[in-house]
C-alpha cells in the first residue's frame, strides 16, 4: 500500500459515506494523471519529466521512466490502446516565452518501455496551444500547423499514411498561436476539422476519415470559421464541435437548438457547440453559450463541466439526461495543476466536490449521468487550510473504472505539499 504521499508524513484522510461505499485507497503526487487498464499514469510532481505508473488498487509503483532531458516541457499526455503518448518540448528563447512541442514519445502502458518517438510534425513551428493528436484503430494520428496529418502504428511507430490539407479548404499562412485543424478519435472513428479562409470569408470543414488509409468517408461544411472537433464517440455515434459562432443566422440554420444553463455561468452569446451524426455528418443538435467547458463523451452522453458544476446531454437528442448540477463554489475556484479536471466521470457516473467546510471536511457526491438522485455521498476530512497559502481548491480531477467493479475517483487535495491525488474507490 501507499498511504502516505511522497515528501510528507500525512496519511490517508478519513472517509465516511452513505449509499455506495467510498473508501480511500492511496495517495500520490501525480499530475496530468490518466487511468489506463489497472494503472494510473502521470508525471511525478516535483520531479520534472519523470513519468510514473502506479497500481490503481494499491498505489504501488509499477514503473517509472525519465523523459528526454533536452525537452523538459510536457504539453500533453494520454493513454489509449495499451500505449501512453507524451508530447514533449521546450521554451523558445523569445520575449513571449513561447513553448513548442518537438517530439511525441510513446511508451508501453504495461511495462513503461519506450516503444518509439518521432519529431512532432512541423518541428519547432508546432506551437503547443491545441496541438492535434489522437488515437484510432491502432494508430497515433497527429496534425501540424500546415494542416497536414501523419498516422503511425501505435506499437511500432511505422508510418501508416500522411495527408495534406484539402485543396478545397484554403488556409491562412500567417503565423498564429493556434492550429488550423483539430482531431478526435474513438475506436475506429477518426474525425478532423479544418478552418478554411478564402477572400476574407471563413468556414469550417469536417471530415470523417478511414483510420487505416486517411481517405475521407464524408464531409460537412458550414460558415462557422472558429469551430473545431473536440470529441468523437462510437457508442453514441457522435462527433462534437466547439468554438464560436459567426453571424446569428449561421447557427440558426442548424437543427434542434439547445440552451446553455446560465446557472453554470452567464450566457455570452458567441460560444457554440454542434453535434453531428458520426455515420453521415448530418447535424443533430446545437447549443449556444458556454464557459470554457471541458467535454466528456461516455455511455451515449455528452457532459460539459466547469468549475461550478456540470450538465449532461443525450448524444442523439441533445436533451438533458439529468438535472444540471451546480455546487455553489466560487467561479474563481480551481485545482492547482494544468490538466486537472473539475469533475470525475467514468462510464455512467460522475464524482464531484460539492463543498468544503472551514474545518477541512470536503463533501463529495457520486451521481448517475442519466436520471436524478445520487449513488453515494461522502465526507473526506482534509486539513483546514491550503498548503503555501495558495488560492487553490480541492477537486475530483479524474476518474476511471477499477478492477472488481465500481469506479476510481481521483481527488486532488491541496492541504499538503505537492498537492497529491487521493484515490477513492466507489464500490459497485
Strand partners, 89: 73, 101
Residue 126 scores a pLDDT above 50: no
- Which three cell numbers mark 127? 506551437
Q: From residue 59, how far is each of 2, 3, 41 by CA, in Å?
A: 5, 8, 11
- Tell me the average pLDDT of the chain: 89
pTM given for the model: 0.93
Q: What is the SS3 assignment for 387?
A: helix
171-183 pLDDT, tens per residue? 765 545 456 689 9
* Pairwise CA distance, residues 251 & 257, whole Å: 9
2-41 pLDDT, tens per residue? 555 554 557 999 999 999 999 999 999 999 999 999 999 9
Residue 397: which residues within 8 A CB-CB, separation 6 or more? Answer: 33, 335, 337, 340, 341, 342, 344, 410, 411, 412, 421
363-414 pLDDT, tens per residue? 999 999 999 999 999 999 999 888 887 889 999 999 999 999 999 999 999 9
User: In the prediction, which pLDDT does 181 show?
Assistant: 80
Q: Which of 364, 337, 348 is nearest to 303 (CA)?
A: 348
CB burial string 82-106: b at 16+ within 10 A, e below: ebbbbbbbbeeeeeeeeebbbbbbb
Amino acid at each position: 500500500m501507499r498511504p502516505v504521499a511522497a515528501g510528507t508524513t500525512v496519511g490517508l484522510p478519513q472517509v465516511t459515506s452513505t449509499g455506495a461505499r467510498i473508501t480511500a485507497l492511496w495517495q500520490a503526487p501525480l499530475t496530468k494523471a490518466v487511468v489506463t487498464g489497472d494503472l494510473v499514469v502521470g508525471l511525478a510532481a516535483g520531479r520534472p519529466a519523470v513519468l510514473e505508473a502506479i497500481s490503481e488498487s494499491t498505489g504501488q509503483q509499477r514503473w517509472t521512466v525519465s523523459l528526454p532531458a533536452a525537452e523538459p516541457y510536457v504539453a500533453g499526455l494520454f493513454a489509449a490502446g495499451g500505449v501512453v503518448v507524451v508530447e514533449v518540448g521546450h521554451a523558445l528563447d523569445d520575449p513571449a516565452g513561447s513553448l513548442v512541442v518537438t517530439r511525441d514519445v510513446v511508451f508501453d502502458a504495461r511495462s513503461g518501455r519506450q516503444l518509439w518517438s518521432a519529431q512532432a510534425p512541423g518541428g519547432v513551428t508546432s506551437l503547443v496551444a491545441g496541438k492535434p493528436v489522437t488515437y484510432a484503430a491502432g494508430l497515433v494520428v497527429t496534425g501540424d500547423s500546415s494542416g497536414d496529418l501523419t498516422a503511425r502504428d501505435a506499437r511500432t511507430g511505422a508510418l501508416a499514411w500522411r495527408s495534406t490539407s484539402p485543396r478545397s479548404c484554403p488556409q491562412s499562412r500567417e503565423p498564429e498561436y493556434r492550429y488550423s485543424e483539430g482531431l478526435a478519435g474513438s475506436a475506429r472513428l477518426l474525425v478532423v476539422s479544418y478552418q478554411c479562409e478564402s477572400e476574407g470569408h471563413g468556414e469550417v470543414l469536417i471530415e470523417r476519415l478511414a483510420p487505416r488509409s486517411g481517405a475521407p468517408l464524408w464531409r460537412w461544411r458550414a460558415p462557422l470559421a472558429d469551430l473545431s472537433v473536440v470529441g468523437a464517440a462510437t457508442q453514441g455515434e457522435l462527433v462534437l464541435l466547439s468554438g464560436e459562432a459567426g453571424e446569428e443566422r449561421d447557427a440558426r440554420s442548424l437543427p434542434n437548438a439547445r440552451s446553455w444553463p446560465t446557472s453554470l455561468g452567464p450566457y455570452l452569446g458567441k460560444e457554440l457547440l454542434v453535434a453531428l451524426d458520426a455515420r453521415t455528418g448530418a447535424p443533430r443538435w446545437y447549443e449556444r453559450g458556454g464557459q470554457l467547458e471541458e467535454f466528456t463523451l461516455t455511455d451515449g452522453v455528452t457532459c460539459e463541466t466547469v468549475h461550478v458544476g456540470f450538465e449532461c446531454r443525450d448524444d442523439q437528442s441533445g436533451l438533458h439526461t439529468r438535472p444540471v448540477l451546480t455546487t455553489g463554489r466560487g467561479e474563481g475556484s480551481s485545482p492547482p495543476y494544468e490538466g486537472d479536471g473539475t469533475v470525475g466521470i467514468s462510464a455512467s457516473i460522475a464524482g464531484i466536490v460539492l463543498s468544503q467546510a472551514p474545518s477541512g471536511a470536503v463533501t463529495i457526491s457520486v451521481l448517475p449521468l442519466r436520471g436524478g438522485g445520487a449513488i453515494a455521498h461522502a465526507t473526506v476530512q482534509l486539513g483546514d487550510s491550503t498548503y503555501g497559502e495558495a488560492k487553490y481548491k480541492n477537486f475530483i480531477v479524474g476518474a476511471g473504472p477499477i478492477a472488481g467493479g465500481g469506479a476510481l475517483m481521483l481527488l486532488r487535495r491541496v492541504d499538503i505539499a505537492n498537492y497529491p491525488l487521493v484515490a477513492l474507490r466507489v464500490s459497485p
